Amino acid sequence: MNEEEFYRVYSKYLQRKYGEKVYKLPINLPVTCPNRDGCVGTGGCIFCGEVGAGFENLSNTISVREQLKKNMDYIRRRYNAHKFIAYFQNFTNTYTDIDTFKMYIQEAVVEDIVEISISTRPDCISDRYLKFLSDIKKNHKIEITVELGLQTVNYHTLEKVNRGHTLGEFLDSFIRIKKFGFEVCTHLILNLPWDNMTDVVENSKVLSALSVDSVKLHSLYVVKNTILEDMLINNEIKLISKDEYVKRVITFLEYLNKDIVVQRLIGRAPQDNTIFVNWNTSWWKIKDEIISKMHKKQTYQGIKCDYLNGKALNQFRK
């Protein structure tokens, strides 16, 4: 089955944008997160493990340039690749002083890097950092994408997961980033314990109304020694079933504007150190199930995206 019939596939989008297959190279910085070190919170989000998101990364004691070189050499040899994205993935990559941030980014400006993608929190975006990135884009012809962790638009749930920011900060950072002309990818978790299908639809509507460039969906996994683990063991929360997750992803896509690129339908999580990951099913099997159900239902991304630009006025169209 051709995935592109059902949603806007990220790899195809990159291929069209850059004229060939582009590979994302993860970079691991020795940074932490303001929601862990006491700046806006301690302990972090209730689901956050100590290694952050980048469990497949090289050590953060290796310089950015060296990490890139190692990964590039490997991917070049294996796939005959020519173009790459430097992906600052782990923790909050803009959470450092401006000079250190500049040094890290400049180290990523090397031949064959066509884009720099920076993962961060909405409360770690400021005009000063964006201006520097804008100069990099202009002077080196390198595209910039900022990946913003939002997880849900439901600000009550954000409080329960101890995010340390609300929807308001996300909106502020999004508007700021767009003023500099960068792409924004938004990360969401569609199965946070306090969210239901109404939240899933609202997530989709808000991202569509903002016209975010891309979205990355994760499924919640439970890491050992986290508050989330305690909550699960103490029956304070319930996790939804795989079938319900599949339903939520399909509904999310139906309401999502067809122009928004979808980077992922489900997260890839480490088996080690976790007590629950993807219903013990490979991520690609769940992805196949989503596509197969969409095929059966004869549905696709954007089929229900009829709520923008004055829905109530549609009746007066000739």
List of residues contacting ligand SF4 (CB under 6 A): 33, 35-36, 44-45, 48, 52, 91-92, 121, 149
State the first-to-last Cα distance of the chain, in angstroms, to the nearest integer.
Answer: 37
| Residue nearest ligand SF4 by beta-carbon distance | 44
Taking the least distance from each CB to ligand SF4, the nearer of 45 and 262 is 45
Taking the least distance from each CB to ligand SF4, the nearer of 35 and 204 is 35
Q: Report, in Å, the least distance between residue 227 CB and ligand SF4.
A: 11
Q: Report, in Å, the least distance between residue 151 CB and ligand SF4.
A: 8
Q: Report, in Å, the least distance between residue 49 CB and ligand SF4.
A: 8
Using DSSP's 3-state secondary structure scheme, residue 86 falls into: strand
Q: Report, in Å, the least distance between residue 163 CB and ligand SF4.
A: 7
Taking the least distance from each CB to ligand SF4, the nearer of 48 and 85 is 48
Taking the least distance from each CB to ligand SF4, the nearer of 123 and 183 is 123
Rg over CA atoms, the chain: 19
User: In terms of Cα–Cα distance, which of 255, 264, 296 is closest to 283?
Assistant: 264
Taking the least distance from each CB to ligand SF4, the nearer of 91 and 221 is 91
Phi-psi region of 15 (alpha: psi -120 to 50; beta: other; left: phi over 0): alpha
Neighbours of 198 (CB within 10 A): 9
User: In terms of Cα–Cα distance, which of 128, 137, 144 is closest to 184?
Assistant: 144
Q: Report, in Å, the least distance between residue 256 CB and ligand SF4.
A: 23
Q: Across the strands, what pairs with 27? A: 88
* CA 117, 121, 122, 125 torsion-angle sign: negative
